[in-house]
Amino acid sequence: MQIIWMRGPSLVSEVEEILNSRRSEPLAYKTVLTICTRLSDKGILTHEKEGRAFRYGPTMTEAEFVADQASKAADTMLNRFGDVALATFVDKVATDPEQLAALRSLLGDRRGR
């Protein structure tokens, strides 16, 4: 995803080339294609036919993706563990003055809505 966010819509061969330039063990084209296909099936990437290949592009920015994943993780934790998850989160945030201030600010913003 980092490569596609950085480059914009890309062919699998382009993603593979960049990935393999960063690795000691190269990934096969088919491996990268499988990952791109699965991300497309999940709605994280789009794909458009380009010749015999597909050009994959992001459906959201990195910030939107991070927010979406954080929201899903929070929903899962709260639905599964309820008040225990919430209390644990508050305990963790309370140990960091900057995070605690950020939480207070966010809660203040939400009250004003």
Q: What is the pLDDT of residue 109?
A: 77
Give 35: exposed, middle or buried? Use CB within 10 Å, 0-12, 13-18, 19+. Answer: middle
Domain limits at 8? 2-58
Strands (E), 1-113: 10-11, 45-50, 53-58
Give phi and psi for 96, each to the nearest 5.
-120, 110
> Is residue 49 domain-shared with residue 88, that is, in the same domain?
no
> Is residue 69 domain-shared with residue 106, that is, in the same domain?
yes
Q: What is the pLDDT of residue 108?
A: 87
Total domains in the fold of the chain: 2
CB 56 within 8 A of CB 9: yes
Q: Which residues of the chain have pLDDT under 50?
A: none
Q: What is the pLDDT of residue 110?
A: 77
Q: What is the pLDDT of residue 113?
A: 59
CB 58 within 8 A of CB 68: no
Name residue 75's amino acid.
D
> Is residue 66 domain-shared with residue 53, that is, in the same domain?
no
Domain boundary among 25, 40, 58: 58
Entry pTM: 0.76
> Is residue 42 domain-shared with residue 29, that is, in the same domain?
yes
The mean pLDDT value of the chain amounts to 95
> Is residue 9 domain-shared with residue 30, that is, in the same domain?
yes
Give phi and psi for 25, each to the nearest 5.
-105, 110
CA atoms within 13 A on the CB side of 87: 4
